[in-house]
Structure 1
Amino acid sequence: MVRPVTFQAETRTGAGPASRLALNVLGAPARGRGAVLREDCVRALLRTAADGGVGLVATRPVADVERLLGQCWPFPSPFRVTVRTVSSAEGVDRVEARARRSLERMGLPRGDAVMVSSACDLAGADGRALWDRLERLKDIGLFRRIGVCARVEDGPELLARRFRPDVVELPCNLLDQRAATSGLIAGLAEHGSAVHLRSVFAGGVLFAAREDLPLHLVQSGSGVSRARRSLAENRADPMQAALAYALNLPGVESVTAGVASAAELRAVLAAAHAPMPDLDWPALALDDPATLNAAGPSAVSSAA
């Protein structure tokens, strides 16, 4: 059942939309002189985030980003940090050790939330043991909250009833509005779970030139061209529209944007503060939003 979504107006007042943005720092590690330049880039990015009012940094245990963050935090740091776990296939002991290691690499005594990287890890035989181990990390004060990264197909409400996560992270964007229109976000709030959104830029599909779109999105009649044409006809910038949609959904605590430089972050901050465009939001959604799952990463904020 598709439910109408009523947007909340208060996100454009008070602390401002930037306070509800989460930053995901993208990029691969560099060596030699490149490493120095990379550190300068991350330092500038974090300074821009702090000055812009961004309060949350979402991290993943990949590449060398955690170490870079640890070397580049402004002092005093205004950021709260979420940490993703490695796969439970590596064993519960490894999951705990890597979560602790993430904090050590970033030079942090504690994190805001430790996030199970896939709902499948909780559905497996070791799901309860994994959750109990993370609860122990919360009990001793290493993390304030425990959460899970899920998809709509994972049945997040069932997970919320079973595990009572403090946070649930979901994909939701202009092209895939299922988390909002199905009532999932509202249902998770009823279970006491804060909702964080990812993939708000639809893997960069909203920004890509037609010739750069994955073949299945060009040929499947998925509606990407229709959505892009609608935005153009209404003179709506795709980034502004994407952020306005996500930031104004009721029940959403934070919206993650993946950026690789201070310049990209400045563009995101400007878009977040822009007036909300007057659009027919339901008309922008794809008829088959699951087709987005096969889309490859884009150069623009692919992890956002």
Structure 2
Amino acid sequence: MSRATVPLPGIDHPLILMRDIEAGRAFYARLGFTVTPVGRHPWGTSTALAVLERSALELMGIYDESLIDGLETGGFRFGRHMRDALAEREGMALVALHSRDVSGDGAAMAGRGIATQGRIDFRRKVKPPGLDWDEAVVSLQILLDPALPRVSHFLAQQHKPHLLWVPDWMRHANGATHVAAVTYLAEDPAPVCARLGRMFGGGPAAFAAEFPTEFPTGQGHFRVLRPADWPAAFGATPMPRLTPGEPGGAAIDVAVRDLAVARAVLAGAGVATVETAAGPAIADVAGCGNVVIRFVRACAGAAGRGA
């Protein structure tokens, strides 16, 4: 199969690091999301999800620092990576890419020049609504670029997807359906665009000198902006606090079925928004976990996640 015909992995879930995950759950509930109870990873991180139809938002904290070096692969320790990133600041860390075959997709990414540290297999206890306690079985393939730690990714494969994509968890008052876009900010966009070009485009030379630049994936797209481009894309929405000189994730566009319904939910909860050309953005960037959450209109006929 040629590279042109290999299906591209899509955005599965951005990871939003928060120091108080319960406060984060409460805030995202005010935004109209149904948020799962807090679960635990074996490497010491806590997790809560807004499970959408084709992707998710993951809130992540630390519950036990003594476990952060568990399940190492290729020198990468998931818990330590998250602990160190959160110690620096809240906000978007890695972005998970949807996979049905992490080994095959990892090999494809390596063939495109993307570093991979290896595979992690783990289980965690879950109790979906209406079901007994069970174990989610998950495989990850780490795609960390040490030069771009806040613009790195991993492939995620759910071996028991029915334990995550549960109808009761996927019903959101705001009508959210999927993550439509993740926006990265970079003073020098070239390294970020080179990485995304290798992953999802025609290679490092596939981007033009004009910015912003967008990279379609198997579901959703990545957007790269310079800080000077922010007002054109996000209007008066406050910019998240990022590490000076380091590219990082700044915003997540969440597609909803009806923007009027989403606006009504936000107004009813007393959540202030900033209107942008694409839709309302949440003004309380800190409440969102040092990331901008913006609601945009879902495109009709968009492809689903699949099994």
Q: Same fold (TM over 0.5)?
A: no
Larger Rg: 1
Q: TM-score, normalised by structure 2?
A: 0.29
Higher-strand-fraction structure: 2
Q: TM-score, normalised by structure 1?
A: 0.29
Higher-helix-fraction structure: 1
Higher RCO (C-alpha under 8 Å, 6+ residues apart): 1
